[in-house]
Amino acid sequence: MSDSTLTKGTRLCKYLAEAGVASRRGASRLIEAGRVCIDGQQASHSDRVLGASLVTLDGEPLCPAQAKAYFLYHKPVGIDCRLRAEDPHSLIHLLPTGLRLFPAGRLDKDSRGLLLLTNDGELTQRLMHPDFHHQKSYLVTLNKAPGSDDIAAIAAGFDYGEGPTRPCRIEPQDALSVRMWLTQGKKRQIRRLWKARGYLVVDLLRESIQTLTLGELGEGQMRALNETERLALLTALDPK
């Protein structure tokens, strides 16, 4: 769609994110795949949505933005964060009905712990973008006792094949476990860091995301954020 009159209105990626379809990054992929149309014409990234526009995804009309929703979920091992209806292990089958929630960041299928589920695309963008340096903490159990040299090397940051990682904080917990605080989230980063030093991660538990923590949330349980948690998170993610 290239109508030059679309000089005002909401940017399409923002509209899709606010409609609860996906994060802005996910919305961009939907547009690139040709799955989004405005008034019957395939949309492009430069398009804007006017009040009278009909936006469709895979031919289905999108509703206006939902009220923002925020849930915490204690993901067990075996649940796939990719929202694929054809996968019986997908997170999509566990989401509350009536809300188009998506995870603000993923945990791989073999890992467990805290996920933030939301339809707030703006918040998701700020939380996931590496430039914002938002902190997440993990309890990592290894197949053998970590050496002090290996801990120091990982904490300092190094290149395991995909560019140098940021420095992180690491504190030993017992003979086989360490707690790690990271401000970036490359794919399977923790597992690959330790593998590069000769270790196997046998258990990976995410304990916190910025101001949010697992607390008493049991494995497999899900609950809505309370107002205090929501405001604290929004304040912490405010780019100012």
Judged against a pLDDT cut of 50, whether residue 3 lies above it is answered with no
151 located within any domain? yes
Please tell me the total number of residues recorded for the chain in this structure.
240
Tens of pLDDT, residue by residue over 14-43, are 888 877 777 788 888 999 999 999 888 899
Number of Cβ within 10 Å of residue 102's Cβ equals 23
Query: Would you say residue 210 has pLDDT above 50?
Result: yes
Please count the structural domains in the chain: 3
Task: Report the CATH number at residue 198.
Answer: 3.30.70.1560
* Residues 160, 193 within the same domain: yes
Please give the pLDDT value at position 79: 96
Catalytic residue flag (residue 108): yes
Which residues sit opposite 57 in a β-bridge?
Answer: 36, 60
Residue 21 inside a domain? The answer is yes
What is the pLDDT, as a whole number, of residue 67?
76
Q: Is 2 inside a domain boundary?
A: no
Is residue 77 within 8 Å of residue 111, measured between CB atoms? yes
116, 237 contact by CB (below 8 A)? no
Mean pLDDT rounded to a whole number for the chain: 87
Q: What's the N-to-C CA distance of the chain in angstroms?
A: 34
> Is 105 part of a structural domain of the chain?
yes
Is there a single domain that holds both residue 139 and residue 204? yes
The whole domain housing 22 covers: 10-61
Asked if residue 3 is part of any domain, the answer here is: no
> Is the domain of 205 the same as that of 223?
no
CA–CA gap between residue 20 and residue 75 (Å, rounded): 21
Catalytic pick from 108, 150, 159, 238?
108
Tell me the pTM. 0.74
pLDDT at 138 over 80: yes
Residue 16: CB atoms within 10 Å: 27
Q: Do 121 and 230 lie in a common domain?
A: yes
Residue 232 lies in a domain: yes
CA–CA distance, 166 with 156 (Å, rounded to integer): 7
Indicate whether 15 and 38 sit together in one domain: yes
